Chain A
Amino acid sequence: MTGLLVCGGGAIPLVAQDAKQQETAGDAAQKQDDEKPATLREQYQTLLGEFNKSMAEYRQAMQNQELTAEERKALSEKMPKIADYAVKIKELIAAEPAGDVALDAYLFLAGNTRNGPVFDEAVEAVFTHFAQSERLADLGRLAMIGTPKGDALLERIIEVTPHDSVKGKTMFNIANFLSSRDDEASEKRCLELLQTIQDKYAEVDMGRGRKLGDRVPGMLFAIQNLKIGKVAPDIEGNDIDEVSFKLSDYRGKVVVLDFWGDW
């Protein structure tokens, strides 16, 4: 058994399972060479492990408060570059550009860049090889919503996906973003999206027994009642001493309403 533990394809640090000694990712790869050829998945995890390790070391080094400005600058030039790893990762997955490992890799690269050439290339690769995958929704979560490019990416996902779940979830993400804006065009588009979600995608499973349609009434309420310029809906509830009161008890005063938690 080598010291590799694969955790759901995310950027999870490698965990050494060998009881005798903690192995680094490099050692693990070396040891694998002695046994049998590493699978593509293992090689990919090794690369991710190297990246995560070098990033962790870099962050730790930068935390040193005693660094002079010059030392800090010199150090910052040595920051591990995602572009360098992108080259290695692309070489690795070239053998199976449409395989599971490749999809994880593209999403990792897109998620660690969010913009720029590495992001664009990863996005194109996902559309080329995985347009039919339900995980297109994961790509949608990495889009910078509210920017022309991010919005175009989301529209493209909705257009190409054959899956109701991907369409519905992506539309909901857009609607959620639009619901926080106060201009009329955003409101109109948001209402259109919510109507479509209600009509066509209400049954999409959101996990934990919830459906996408369950989220619609809350957002409609927010659009209709929680915009700037609307009279705040009343709240009636108990305070922490279990004494009932209402938000409207405070009419005549300027009120800051703060949804908070001590966590």
Chain B
Amino acid sequence: MYPHERSLVKQLADKPFALIGVNSDPDLEKLRETLKEKNLTWRSFWNGPEGTSGPISTKWNVTGWPTIYVMDQNGVIRYKNVRGAKMDEAVTALLAEMGHEVEIKHDEEDHD
């Protein structure tokens, strides 16, 4: 998933778009290293030392990872659990509603 999301974030850098993570790795130090190593630039909430039982994922009733929500500019949930090309389509449609026509394209190695 990283290559796809990295590519998406890069292509939409100048658009009103944000990828926000909620990370459920229990070890913060190790997580920081991972982010650096894999060049993951987007911002993530940290779910705390309890990992997958942490407060944010518990409140959001997340029982499977990854779980994905896509919100429009008003914060309204519009799509759930869209991955890969489906995520691209969702984001493209919501940006179009705001008057931003984008065409998301990935290199071969960016596919999941």
Contacts and interface: CB of A to CB of B under 8 A. Distances in A.
Interface of A: 176, 179-180, 218-219, 221-222, 226-233, 235, 237-240, 242, 245, 247-248, 250-263
B61 A222 contact: yes
Contacts of B76: 229-232
A239 B18 contact: no
A251 B72 CA distance: 8
B22 A218 contact: no
B62 to A, nearest CB: 5
Those 9 A-B pairs whose CB atoms lie nearest each other, nearest first: A222-B61, A237-B45, A261-B24, A253-B16, A259-B67, A254-B94, A218-B61, A255-B71, A257-B69
A66 to B, nearest CB: 25
Contact of A218 (B43, B59, B66): B59
Given A251-B75, A256-B87, A226 B69 contact: yes
Contacts of A228: 77-80
Interface in B67-92: 67-80, 87, 91
A259 B18 contact: no
Contacts of B61: 179, 218-219, 221-222, 226
Interface string B48-75: 0001100111111111011111111111
A247 B55 CA distance: 15
Please classify the interface of chain A as helix (H, G, I), strand (E, B), loop, or mixed, using the class held by over half of its residues: mixed
A140 B15 CA distance: 47
Contacts of A231: 74-77
Given A238-B46, A256-B20, 4 more contacts: A251-B74, A254-B18, A258-B21, A262-B34
A235 B8 CA distance: 23
Contacts of B32: 240
Contacts of B1: 260
A240 B73 contact: no
Interface in B21-47: 21-25, 28, 31-32, 34-35, 38, 43-46
Contacts of A235: 22, 45, 56
A258 B56 contact: no
B91 A256 contact: yes
A176 B64 CA distance: 12
B70 A257 contact: yes
A237 B51 contact: no
A262 B52 CA distance: 11
A215 to B, nearest CB: 9
Given A230-B76, A240-B35, A258 B66 contact: yes
Contacts of A222: 60-61
Contacts of A179: 61
B60 A251 contact: no
